[in-house]
Structure 1
C-alpha cells in the first residue's frame, strides 16, 4: 500500500507539470501562418454526423486538404463507413436500448435497414458504403486527399470496456481479406488515387502495402497510441480522474520511429494528449520531432482552441479535427 501511495504522489507531482511540453498562444489566440494540412476528421464528425455522405459532401465544400473516414469490412465482403466496431445505444440506438450489433457480422442490407441516431449531433443517419462515397468523390477534382482508416483488430478494440461480453474475434476479418476487399472497391474507381491508408494495426498496414499495384499511388500512415499498460498507468488515471481505457496507454516513440524507418512509413498520426504529457513528451521530441527526416506528423484529434494554439506552436504538418469549419474560422 505504501508503495502504491508513493507512486500516486509522484504521479500527482508530474500532473502539476502536465502541460510543460506544448505551449499554447496567449489566451488561445491564433497566431496565423500556415495551417498545414487541415484534415476533416470522421467527415467533420463534430459538425455533422460522422462518417456519413452528408458529412463528406459538406467537408468537400470546406477549405480543407484531406477528409478522413473510417471503414469496416462486413459479412458480405462490402466496405462500410463507420467508426465503432459495435452498434449500441452509444452510436446508433436509443439510450434505453441495450442492443449491441457487431458491424462486421452484418450485411450491407442489414445495416442499411437500421434506424440509427447520432446522439452527439441529434440527427438520424444511414450507414453508407465506401463505394457510394467514392462515386461522389470521383465527380470532384479529387484534390482533397482521402485518409482511409481501415478498422481491424487492435488493442483499442480489445480493451474497450464497451465490448465486455462480446467476442472480439467477431469484430474483424484477417488482414489479407480486409486488404483485398478494400482494394476491390477502390479498383472499381481507378481514377481515384489520392488516398492514404491509415490504421493502428501494423500487420494490416503492411498487408495493404503488399497488395498495392505498382501503378497505384496510394500512401500509408501509422496511427499510434502505444501499448495498453494498466498495470503501471492506472495510478495516473486515478489522479486524473479518467477512465483507464482512455489514459492507460504508454507510447514508445524510439521503437515506433525505428519501425517506421525500417518499413518506410512516411506518415505518423500520434495521439495528441500524449504529446502534451510530462511522461512521454520528451520521447516524442527526441525520437519523432528531432528525427523527422521527411516524416509527416498529423496529430489526432484536436477540437478546442487551446489545442489548436499548441498545434500552431509545434512543428506539425497537419491537423485532424472534428471541427474543421471551426478551426478554419479560428485560424
Structure 2
C-alpha cells in the first residue's frame, strides 16, 4: 500500500463522478470532455463488457431506454459490440468504449475505473497496459476484481469501494495491497480518515455534492472527493482556503507507469 496521505494544505482531489454528470449525460464522451474543461484532477467511470469482450462505459448492467434501436433494456453482457454500437441513449449519445475514454482523457487527468462486471480482469489489465502514459486506478465493490487486476498488472493502483462503516480498516484492506478506500460520504468521520491514513491508504469520499459537506471533509483531511458537481466543489474548497496545486499535478496522483 504505497499511496501517501494528502499533504497538509493541499486540497483534496476533485474527481468527476461519471464525468460532468449534472450538465451532460453521465458516462459519455461529452460528460468526460466537459469535466476536463472544468479542470478536474480525475474522472471516475463505470465499466462493463460486451459478449465479445469489448469494455464499455455504462453504469448499469442493462442498457437504459434509448431510441427504439432494438437493444433497449438488454443486458450489456448479452450483446455483441456491433449490436451495442447502434444504441443511442436518450440524450442521443453513444455508449463509449473504455478505449475511447482513455484516448480522450490521455494525460489531462487521472482515470478512476470502477469495474462493474465480473471476470474481466484480464481485459482491464490489457487495456491499462495499452495506455502506459495515462494515470489510472481500478476500484470495485467486489474487492476480488481490483485485486485480480493488480495480480496481472502490479503497477496498477487499486481501491476498495465500501458502502458501510468499516470497524477495522486494516482488516478490510488485509491481503489486497489497495492504496485507497472509497467510502460513502455520509459514513465518513474524522476518525475513519485518521484510521485510513494510519493504515497507509487514501480515503476518497463518494458522492459529495454539498459545499458545506465538502469543506467539512476537507478539514478532516479526506484525500479525494468524487462529485457530480466538480466545478462547484472546487470553488467551495478554493473559497475555504485549501491550497490548489498545479493543474492535475497533486502529489497524491501517481505518475504514469510502464507495464
Give the TM interval when normalised to the shorter protein: 0.7 to 0.9
The Cα shift of 1:212 comes to 0.7
Indicate if the aligned counterparts of 2:67 and 2:87 stay in contact, CA closer than 8 A. Answer: no
Greater gyration radius: 1
Report whether the alignment pairs 1:253 with 2:167: yes
Report whether the alignment pairs 1:289 with 2:228: no
- Please give the alpha-carbon distance, in whole angstroms, between the structure 1 residues aligned to 2:130 and 2:175: 32
CA pair 264-187 structure 1, distance change in 2 beyond 3 A: closer
**Runs of 4 or more consecutive aligned structure 1 residues displaced over 3 Å after TM superposition:** none
Q: How many residues align?
A: 227
Match of 2:160 in 1: 222
Match of 1:82 in 2: 58
- Please give the alpha-carbon distance, in whole angstroms, between the structure 2 residues aligned to 1:272 and 1:149: 17
Indicate if the aligned counterparts of 1:87 and 1:93 stay in contact, CA closer than 8 A. Answer: no
- Please give the alpha-carbon distance, in whole angstroms, between the structure 2 residues aligned to 1:314 and 1:47: 29
CA pair 104-124 structure 1, distance change in 2 beyond 3 A: same
The Cα shift of 1:143 comes to 4.8
Report whether the alignment pairs 1:45 with 2:21: yes
Match of 2:44 in 1: 68
Of residues 302, 315, 320, the one that matches 2:208 is: 302
Of residues 115, 120, 130, the one that matches 2:88 is: 115
- Please give the alpha-carbon distance, in whole angstroms, between the structure 1 residues aligned to 2:11 and 2:105: 24
- Please give the alpha-carbon distance, in whole angstroms, between the structure 2 residues aligned to 1:108 and 1:202: 27
Deviation by residue 1:198-229 (Cα, 9 ceiling, x = unmatched): 1111111211111115xxx3211111113xxx
- Please give the alpha-carbon distance, in whole angstroms, between the structure 1 residues aligned to 2:210 and 2:67: 28
Deviation by residue 1:225-259 (Cα, 9 ceiling, x = unmatched): 13xxxxxxxxxxxxxxxxxxxxxxxx3331x4323
- Please give the alpha-carbon distance, in whole angstroms, between the structure 1 residues aligned to 2:236 and 2:167: 31
- Please give the alpha-carbon distance, in whole angstroms, between the structure 2 residues aligned to 1:325 and 1:85: 29
SS of alignment partner, residue 273 of structure 1 = helix
Deviation by residue 1:120-157 (Cα, 9 ceiling, x = unmatched): xxx3321010111122233xxx15211011113xxxxx
TM-score by length of 1: 0.62
Match of 1:144 in 2: 109
Match of 2:144 in 1: 203
Indicate if the aligned counterparts of 2:16 and 2:44 stay in contact, CA closer than 8 A. Answer: yes
CA pair 143-253 structure 1, distance change in 2 beyond 3 A: farther
Q: Which has the higher helix share?
A: 1
Match of 1:271 in 2: 184
- Please give the alpha-carbon distance, in whole angstroms, between the structure 2 residues aligned to 1:265 and 1:183: 16
CA pair 78-311 structure 1, distance change in 2 beyond 3 A: same
Match of 2:223 in 1: 317
SS of alignment partner, residue 297 of structure 1 = strand
SS of alignment partner, residue 208 of structure 1 = helix
SS of alignment partner, residue 159 of structure 2 = strand
TM-score by length of 2: 0.78
